[in-house]
Structures are given as structure tokens and as C-alpha cells.
Structure 1
Amino acid sequence: MNSADASTARRRATFRQLHAQGCFVLPNPWDIGSARYLQRQGFLALATTSAGCAWSEGRPDGAVSLQATLDHLRLMVAATDLPVNADFGDGFGATPQDVAEAVTAALDTGIAALSIEDASGLADAPLRPLEEAVQRLRAARAAIDRAAADVLLVGRAENFFVGVPDLEDTLQRLRAYAAAGADVLYAPGITTAEQIQAVVAAAGGKPVNLLVGAPTSLTLQDIAAMGVRRVSLGGALARAAWGGLMRATDPIQQEGRFDGLQAAASGAALNALFR
């Protein structure tokens, strides 16, 4: 085993161990600098954000190609020594076979996990039919089992994220994804203790990922006490960075004032951080 293969195996084993007990935060950097900063802050693993990646390229979320996503994953994996969980959209394929081929290509980037979501992208039917979503997840599972069995598969039920906040359907989907081979279950958009507890119960002991993309009264300790294994931030950190840019530039453009630069990080501090 060469050093690159050994590093990949180590990161994947570390990531699996993180899911064995307790609760950890899985922040979502969008470029090399933010990834390295988060590692230096002491986080134990990272996850990519399709939205943050898209915005950094001047595109809306969902408009980044498979090849560009693979290139981004390679950059992020190479940026730090931490395990990287890939936000892999719907699997980049019209058919389950296409999903399997895309997942196989993603595994070659060195990621420790990847997620497959069930959103359709269609306004009038934003969720894929359950059986179709299950077939796509099974295809991803088979691809992982063939090429990199130590990679975790995350099954995502997008109900609350796409405007279909049906908790019972969410739970049904998550149970089906667990049966199809998902190692981790994820229902982005749930926010209440009742919803979170219901998802944890439906997971049947499998690790649950909770998205915290906005301020909440729940603390990490509260979330851990409900049985959640990991907390991701989605595009929130990228949105926070974009918010800083907007707050800095809007007063310049609208009023000719430079007050928005007061909160800017020190150039010397940033140079020292990356030196």
C-alpha cells in the first residue's frame, strides 16, 4: 500500500470511528482556505457543500457538473488531513447505473463518505418516487461495496428541504434507505425536538445527521442528548461569508460609506494562519 492509499484508509477508518458514539460537528468548507482554517480550529472531519461550491463558481446550487464536482472533491481531500464527506447531490445520473458509475468515480477522489439525496429538481414533484430513490441508493451501495467498502453511504430524505414537510413520509423514506444500505440517515430541514427524536427513532440505531443551517435555541449538548450522531452546517458557513461580503460592499455602492469593512479579518492574521 502506497502512502496515498494508506492516508485514504486511515481517514476512512477515522471517520467510521467518529460515528461509533457521541456527537460531532461536521462543518462544510467551500474551498481550500476554509477547509484548512476549519482543520486548524480543531474539527475532526469536514463535509463539502454543493451550494458553497456552486456559489464560489458563480453558479446556483445544483448547476455544477459531475466533472467539476469530482475536481472539487479532489481539491478538498488534498487540502487537509481530515476525512471528507462528499455532498454528492442526487448521484449525477438519470438511471441507477449512471449513479453507480458516478459514485465509482467519486470514490477515486479519496472521500470517506458520500450522500445521495432523493430530490428530483422538479417544481411540481420535488421528490423522486420512493422506489426510484431506493434503486438509486442501492446502486450507490453496490458501487461502494465493489470499490471501497470502507466508505460510508448517507441516505437523504429531502422532504423538509424541498417544501414537502411530511414527517411520516420522511420517516418511511429513511427506513427504506436504511434497508437499502445507507450507513447514515439524514433529513435536512427538520428543526424541532419532536422531529429530530422521531428521525433518530426511525433510524433504528444507525447514525443520524442533523443539519443546523440557521440560529437555533438547541445547543450541541441538546442535540447529542436526543441521539444525533453528527451535526453538519450545509451551506451556512458559505452563506455567512457571502453575508460578510454583502455587508461590506452594499454601503459602498449605495451610500459611499466604508463602515462595512470594520469586521474584516486582519491580513496579517490570515497570512499567519496559512503560513
Structure 2
Amino acid sequence: MSRFEEFRALHRPGRPLVLPNAWDHASAAALVTAGFAAVGTTSLGVAGAAGLPDAAGAAREETLRLAGSLARLPVPVTVDIENGFGTDPQDVAALAARLERAGIAGVNIEDGRPDGTLTDVSHQCAVLQAVLRSAPSLFVNARTDTYWLPGHEGETEARLRAYQEAGAHGLFVPGLRGERAVRSVTGTCAAPLNLLFTPGGPSVSELAAWGVARVSTGSLLFRAAVHQAVEVARGVLDDDATRAADLGGVPSYGQAQAWSEPFTGTRAGARPKDGSPPGR
């Protein structure tokens, strides 16, 4: 199967793909090593790691650079391109074509604008159609931000139907979490529904029972990683041995070094700068 076919086959209503979202090559490679069948990117993580704001179109080059690196991984990769890093359908389509040529399996395109409004439905459909024409082997996941922008929840299904009719392969509604609302969407739209996992919200098994086909972690992993890094650093600073030593399962230097190379495993003979033996 092609990357597109492999990725599309992972979207099974009732047996959702759990898609972890990475922010750099190392985090993506670690997730693949852990056994995840596909990996996505998080725009917040990619932008934040570069010191740039999310959802402002500022991380276009960082996103393209990371995509070229992640395409080496042995699983399908889908890339969050915010609103396409532009408003002109042909410009967004050209970006998508570059990602397709690089070996990326899918893209996520949102209808939220940097100013906090929603893109006109007809314009967003034109963007989706241009992308599908220019990059026919990309899995296009059309995201609507109706549940993240107050007062727009009632537009959700109309927008999803329009995006589906425009050719979108998947539909994404971050913030949608109630059973009744989720079942309404899965009962109305034929395209696979992607939802965002939120701590304290519905479990993956609950979402599966409601017909969801994909569950993404979004920026959660990036935020959790930064939080954990700060906690370990505080343990060292405070001379808190328990806190600083609570590192069970942390990858070795050699394993981390392997993530920065093509996905071929740990480089033989690599020697950590901290003096510990490779692979330990």
C-alpha cells in the first residue's frame, strides 16, 4: 500500500487510530519506537520549540523542515499546517504538494483564522479542493474550530458536510466531546471523525463506542514533556533526591542519539558525553 492507503486504512470508526502528535524528530522517532502506527505533528509544539506563536502562520519553514525529516520514519506521518500558512488556495495547494513529494501521508487544515474568526465556508472549500487537486495522495483532514470559538457550535455540522462534499478524507472537531453531539456528527457525516483527547474528557473506548475513527493528542505531549523537564530540573535545584531520581524508563544517551539519525536504530559505538555506556 502507499502511505496514503496505509494511513487511510488506520481510520476505522469504532476502532479509532490513536494519533500522538510530535514536535520534533526525536519525539516522533520515540513514538514510532514505542509502537504507534502513525504520527502527527502539533503546530503549538513545532512553533513553540522554535520560539514562535502558534496559529499565526509564523512556523511555515519550521513545519516544512520537520516534515522532510519525519518522512524518513517507517510509519505514515500527517502534518498540522494550521490554516495552510496562507489564504490563497493555490499557495496552500503548493505547500501541500511539497509535503506530498517529501513523502508525507496527510495534512491537517483548520478553518480558524489568526484573528479568532472562522474562514468563510466557500473559501475553505476552495482551499480543500485546490489541495486535493495538487496533492491527490495526501489524506486531507479538515478541521473546524467551531467548538473553540464561542458562539459557533451551531455551525459545526453544516461546515463538516461542506468540507466532506469538497472532498476531505477526514473531519476534525477539537473541543467536541459530548456523546450526543459526537453521535450526531458520526451519524450525519460519512468521512471519518477525528477528535482531540482531553484529560478528564471521554476515554478512547467511549469515543470508539460513539463511532470516532481517530483520536489525536494535539499539543498535550509537548506540554507534558516541558512540564516534566521543569519538574526534574526543580528536583535537581532543590536537592530533592526522590524527585530528581524519579526517571524510570528515561531513554539512554545512545537511544536519544539514534533519534537524531535516519531511522536505523542506535549507532554502534556511540559514546555519551556524560560518560555512561551506550545503550544504558
Which of the five TM-score ranges fits, normalised by the shorter chain?
A: 0.7 to 0.9
* Alpha-carbon shift at residue 247 of structure 1 (Å): 2.5
Aligned length: 254
TM-score, reference length from structure 2: 0.83
Mapped partners of 2:250, 2:145: distance in 1: 40
2:63 aligned partner, one-letter code: T
Quote the residue 1:4 is aligned against. Answer: none
* Alpha-carbon shift at residue 156 of structure 1 (Å): 0.7
Mapped partners of 1:59, 1:249: distance in 2: 24
Structure 1 runs not aligned, ≥5 long: 1-8
Quote the residue 2:275 is aligned against. Answer: none
Quote the residue 2:63 is aligned against. Answer: 69
Structure 2 residue 97 is matched with structure 1 residue 104: yes
Mapped partners of 1:94, 1:221: distance in 2: 37
Structure 2 residue 178 is matched with structure 1 residue 192: yes
* Alpha-carbon shift at residue 99 of structure 1 (Å): 1.5
Mapped partners of 2:66, 2:84: distance in 1: 15
What is the identity percentage for the equivalent residue pairs of Structure 1 and Structure 2? 31
Quote the residue 2:261 is aligned against. Answer: none
* Alpha-carbon shift at residue 140 of structure 1 (Å): 1.4
* Alpha-carbon shift at residue 105 of structure 1 (Å): 1.7
Is 2:39–2:75's contact at 8 Å kept on the other side of the alignment? yes
Mapped partners of 1:268, 1:202: distance in 2: 44
* Match 1:215 to one of 186, 193, 199: 199
Quote the residue 2:246 is aligned against. Answer: 263
Structure 2 runs not aligned, ≥5 long: 259-265, 267-280
* Alpha-carbon shift at residue 169 of structure 1 (Å): 0.3
Mapped partners of 2:118, 2:251: distance in 1: 47
* Alpha-carbon shift at residue 100 of structure 1 (Å): 1.6
* Alpha-carbon shift at residue 84 of structure 1 (Å): 0.3
C-alpha RMSD of matched pairs (Å): 2.2
**Greater helix proportion:** 1
Mapped partners of 1:66, 1:267: distance in 2: 31
Quote the residue 2:80 is aligned against. Answer: 87
Mapped partners of 2:170, 2:151: distance in 1: 20
* Alpha-carbon shift at residue 92 of structure 1 (Å): 1.7
Quote the residue 1:137 is aligned against. Answer: 128
Mapped partners of 1:18, 1:32: distance in 2: 22
Quote the residue 1:226 is aligned against. Answer: 210
